[in-house]
Structure 1
Amino acid sequence: MTRTPNSSFSGVSRRALLLGLAALPALSGPFLRFPASAQTPTDPLPSWNDGAAKQAILDFVRATTDRASRGHVAPEKRIAVFDQDGTLWVEQPIYTQAAYCLARVPAVAAEKPELKDVEPFRTVLSGNREAVAGLTTPDLEKILAVTLTGMSVEEFEDEIGIWLETARHPRWNRPYTELVYQPMLEVLRFLRDNGYKTYIVTGGGQDFVRVYSEQIYGIPPEQVVGSAGGAKFGYDKDGKPFLTKEPKLLLNDDHAGKPEGIHLMIGRRPYAAFGNSVGDRQMLEWTAAGPGTRLKMLVLHDDSAREYAYGPAEGLPASKIGTFTQALYDEAKKNGWTVISMKNDWKRIFPFE
């Protein structure tokens, strides 16, 4: 089978790709893997400062796993869901998958030289940030179709793995896979140690995240729910069956799509949900609507020194990526959701600190 220079239409939003087109990062560096966390027997969350956020997690686990508690949850019902971008790892200045799409454009143009003189690829290849920021929705759809479809699922996984081994974040000059949040790795481990199944529920591409979710988060690919594209079954010239990624969006796992995706892919309402933006609001609302003890948490990025500060909740700078509005903040406070202050609640942010 001849490989085409594409991958999977697996849910990069048009907004994310547009922003990404204006901020293509540098490439190089190893794909490192981290253990789920480094816990101590006395403190399962050592990277958290003592406070309401840490206590909420400890109280929730105690209440839902203690058989004598009124909030006890049967082991088979212990489900916890986590958004990825901005909740488990860095999402600024662009989503990681958007960076991958942009990085694929030169390779696609090299294999299909006719694209070099065709818009919007000519604009992307020019490196003119102002020009690419003005691309239209149809332009972005063309980029998605060319860079995210056409190859077999195995080739797609190989391409992502190679890219992750070389791609580096423009601020820290480290692999994206190092920019995971150590406090959240500890939460994942703590929940699993207490019988919870942990799922990623992301607006990003399901197949993209599945490539590294087990190595980075300890979450197997079957426990990743994301925006999903179609795949077509076929045979190669030797009669070997394979699946080809297709430009057909089956699930847009963002906003209301998140509880819809949870129902479709998991089949149980979560008892714990973690997010960081307006795209996670319905997921937390769906979690909160169930009976019994529920944990609802939102990460607020308010630490420009160690990571980024953006909202615009509480007077933080506005951001089109990972938007945390004042309305979402007010809803969280009104309904008893816990807002995690990155600045105040986390002793450390990354495993390498």
Structure 2
Amino acid sequence: MDLPSWRDSGSRRAVVEFVESVTRPGAAFVPPADRIAAFDNDGTLWVEQPAPPQFDFLLRVWSQEARENPSLAERQPYKAIVERDPAFFEGLVTQDPDAVSSLESAAARSWAGTTPDVFEAQVRRWAETVKQPRFGVAYTDLVYRPMLELFDYLKAHDFRVFVCSGGGRDFMRVFAEEIWGLPKENVIGTAPAYEYTDGRIVRTDRMLGGLALGAGKPEHIYAHTGRLPLFAAGNADVDIEMLTTASFALLISHDDAEREYAYTKAADTSLAKAEKLGWVVVSMKGDWSAVFSSMYDEWSLHGCHESIADSSRSPAARDRSETSGGGGGPPGVARADGDRVVVGAHACDSSGAGRVMPSSDRARATALPGCR
């Protein structure tokens, strides 16, 4: 069955009808060479709350650097991290171009002069050790199963699938082949420039082109593929330009507080645009029978979305945890706190240790309310 985690809804039918119309002989037929599908990443392919995962990675690295070299606290973004600047952290959550630009520029400086394998090793260690604070599993376990099925469905109909994100291209490329089934060259995004020096490829302290946000998305897609997308999917206001250039636009609506998150922040304009232009809006709650791609979904499907550590706390305490950042920053945003990195009200030490769910705890999860 095609798209097995998609319920038989208007959204699923619209996707299937469009793909069939452009791949069968007829007036709407599109040659395979022009079947480009472009997807946003954060919030479209995996969880972006309480902050986009790459920001979690960068804040951990820079918090450690600031502890080792206190003079860095006079420079951005170290200054904002040390001072827990609410405006800075809010900008990260909403993917404000200025905030993202400051991070990407700083990232280019932090790894300038290093070879790609140095950065990749750090990202892999983060991916293998850091746990998402609410669900207690690796961020890479929180990829959306229905979107992976959509990748496969499109590829089976001779679409070439690309991911284009305002986040770091090289960050995404580390795990693209393993969790998305896409080659590295199909990942487009904000990136550093490279130089060939003394027989090695090394990162520079310059960005390659502009940010892949807003108008930068179709610009990056065209520069990379020589075409604009036929099919595009996103979830936020920064995806509007990419979605507008596509013949078929899919907008993910985060309306499932039980299995994921429910929010419209930084998406209100795109939702209004979808209604005006007739884009297909996917309701996580109504259109998807499953959310995540990993074994985590085996118990999340039954309403067991809280971490084991949270299950013993009172409902009032859990509510406060969801709505309070713990002081010094807006709700649910990663920030530095001594030797820890805090995401919302949940803490991990700077080594990456966090809330882990061993197999014994997964078994205990079945005792939680709503679990089988």
TM-score, with length taken from structure 1: 0.74
1:75/1:99 CA distance change after superposition, 3 Å: same
Q: Which residue of 2 aligns with 1:64?
A: 22
* Alignment partner, residue 137 of structure 2: 174
CA distance in 1: counterparts of 2:165 and 2:285, whole angstroms: 24
Indicate conservation of the 8 Å contact 1:153/1:243, yes or no: yes
**Alignment check: 8 A CA contact 1:78 1:271 kept:** yes
1:149 positional shift? 3.6
Q: Which residue type is aligned with residue 276 of structure 2? A: K
Q: Which of 233, 252, 259 is the matching residue for 1:306?
A: 259
Q: What is the SS of the residue equivalent to 1:244?
A: strand
1:241 offset after TM fit, Å? 2.3
The reply to whether residue 348 of structure 1 matches residue 311 of structure 2 is no
8 Å Cα contact 2:108-2:192 kept in structure 1: no
Equivalent positions of 1:205-216 (< 5 A) are: 205-216=168-179
| Displacement after TM superposition at 1:244 (Å) | 2.4
Change (3 A) 1:132 1:274: closer
Which shows bigger deviation, 259-268 or 148-157?
A: 148-157
* Change beyond 3 A, Cα 1:164–1:115: farther
How far apart are the structure 1 equivalents of 2:59 and 2:8?
Answer: 41
- 1:94-133 aligned at under 5 Å gives the runs 94-109=51-66, 112-115=68-71, 118=74, 121=78, 124=81
Matches within 5 A, 1:188-267: 188-235=151-198, 240-267=199-226
Superposition deviation, residue 250 in structure 1: 2.1
The alpha-carbon deviation at position 139 of structure 1 amounts to 8.4
Q: How does 1:39-58 map to 2 (within 5 A)?
A: 43-58=1-16
Distance 1:85 1:123, change over 3 A: closer
Contact 1:226–1:252, Cα closer than 8 Å, also in 2: yes
SS of corresponding position for 2:214: coil
Q: CA deviation at 1:227?
A: 1.0
> Which blocks of at least 5 consecutive residues in structure 2 are unaligned?
92-97, 298-372
Give the partner amino acid of 1:188. Answer: F
Are 1:108 and 1:147, in contact at CA under 8 Å, matched by a contact in 2?
no
CA distance in 1, matches of 2:19, 2:40: 19
Find the partner of 1:88 among 20, 45, 61: 45
Sequence identity percentage: 35
Q: Distance in 2 between matches of 1:179 and 1:134?
A: 22
Kept after mapping to 2: 8 A contact 1:101/1:147: no
1:74 matched to 2:31? The reply is: yes
Equivalent-residue separation in structure 2 for 1:72 and 1:60 (angstroms): 10
Alignment partner of 1:250: what SS? coil
1:3-52 per-residue CA deviation (whole Å, 9 max, x = no partner) reads xxxxxxxxxxxxxxxxxxxxxxxxxxxxxxxxxxxxxxxx2111111111
Counting only pairs closer than 5 Å after superposition, residues 332-347 of structure 1 correspond to structure 2 as 332-347=274-289
Task: String of CA shifts for 1:162-206, please: whole Å, max 9, x gaps.
Answer: 211111111111111001000101000000011111000111111
Which ranges of structure 1 fall in alignment gaps of 5 or more residues? 1-42, 288-293, 312-318
Is the contact made by 1:119 and 1:139 (CA closer than 8 Å) also made in structure 2? no
SS at match of 1:200: strand
**Cα 1:142–1:71, aligned 2, differ >3 Å: closer, same or farther?**
closer
RMSD value, Cα: 2.6
Alpha-carbon distance in structure 2 between the residues aligned to 1:141 and 1:184? 26
How far apart are the structure 1 equivalents of 2:90 and 2:47?
Answer: 25
Higher-RCO chain (CA-CA 8 Å, sequence separation at least 6): 1
Counterpart in 2 of 1:279?
A: 238
TM-score (norm 2): 0.71
Please give the alpha-carbon distance, in whole angstroms, between the structure 2 residues aligned to 1:170 and 1:250.
Answer: 33
Tell me what 1:324 maps to.
267
> Contact 1:116–1:125 (CA<8 Å) still a contact in 2?
no
Deviation at 1:157, TM superposition (A): 1.4
